[in-house]
Structure 1
Amino acid sequence: MTDASANFSDHASADSPETVREPRLWRDGGWTAQVMKNDSDDGWAVAMIKDGEREPALIGPWTMGRDKKNPKPLDTGAFNTLVKTASEVLRRHEQQLHALLHKRLNVSTAEQGEISVTLQIVPDEDDPYALLSAFDALGDQLAQIRVMPSFKLNQASAAAWIERDFARMD
């Protein structure tokens, strides 16, 4: 659409949280909405950024005004809808990241009953790693080892780890 992050960062900053309600720029409640020209066509776009963030959480098309040249001005209803939508986008992103970094499955064993095995990936820039952990039915930790962040946790790998009495997975 448009290079909104470059245009948008001029108006949104963490040190300017005051309320602004202009036809093309609204700032309120920790969010800023800016309507800007869409560089790829004759239309308009709106970008939503959360206070303190460098990149917009949401960029989307914006409605033309009645004159079919200028954008429709922002208003309370539109701003609230944009905040709700941008918040949902951020929440889905956080859920997806959490699911990517935290995996859990259960393995039934004859001797120990149900064992929950978790993989927690620690995405450290210098030394990424993961923690493979096992818990009994009461939630007590049975074992924990450090593994490569690329470790594939599945039923077979979890069962093999349990069968080897939680030995290192090299």
Structure 2
Amino acid sequence: MTKISPHEDTTAVHEDRLWKDKGWTARVIKNQDDDGWAVEMILDGEPEPALVGPWTMGRDKKNPKPLDATAFSTLVKTASEVIRRHEQHLHAMLNKRLSVSTDDGVVEVSLSIVPDEDDPYATLSAHDAAGELLAELRVGPDFRFSQASARSWIESGFRAPGR
């Protein structure tokens, strides 16, 4: 029995203005900003396009150039890169780390934000140079994470800030 991944479409469509294949949909659409055309790339299951960009006019200078396998492959690669960069940026925004030198050695302090719609929070944690967890504390998602706040937390014996 062959398993099908959630991003594998068994009903590929290869039309001039619509390609569905390998978990992606490329659709050539009228460009809202001018008389030209645009192409949108949508990952299966996602509500919004991962990529929208200009599309080439055909030889008649009226209609769009038809999609083909090479163009689709390039669009998939580009849209995948856009998603990857977005995920990296989001990870960097939600996870911060810094090092604090103490008399006992370097302490790595990190803040990981959990952007829950109902109850957002962050976890503040400290690890020694060997990677052993020294302390972990739940704080508000708006915790001001800086070298000074990390040092203050360490110097207080890892007590909750403000106490």
Do the two structures share a fold, i.e. TM-score over 0.5? yes
2:45 matched residue in structure 1:
52
1:107 matched residue in structure 2:
100
Letter in 1 for 2:53: G
Q: Please give the TM-score of this superposition, normalised by the length of structure 1.
A: 0.88
2:80 matched residue in structure 1:
87
Letter in 2 for 1:82: L
For residues 5-154 of structure 1, the aligned pairs below 5 Å read 17-110=10-103, 112-154=104-146
Letter in 2 for 1:19: A
Q: Cα distance, 1:65 vs. partner?
A: 0.3
Identity, in percent, stands at 66
Task: Provide Cα deviations, 1:92-139, integer angstroms capped at 9, x if missing partner.
Answer: 1000110011111111101x2010001010111111110100001111
Q: Please give the TM-score of this superposition, normalised by the length of structure 2.
A: 0.92
Q: Which shows bigger deviation, 45-54 or 32-41?
A: 32-41
1:156 matched residue in structure 2:
148
Partner SS, residue 100 of structure 1: helix
| Distance (whole Å) between structure 2 residues aligned to residue 67 and residue 78 of structure 1 | 19
| Structure 1 unmatched ranges of 5 or more | 1-13
Q: Cα distance, 1:40 vs. partner?
A: 2.3
Change (3 A) 1:82 1:73: same
CA RMSD of aligned residues (A): 1.4
Partner SS, residue 94 of structure 1: helix
Moved over 3 A (4+): 14-17
Letter in 2 for 1:121: I
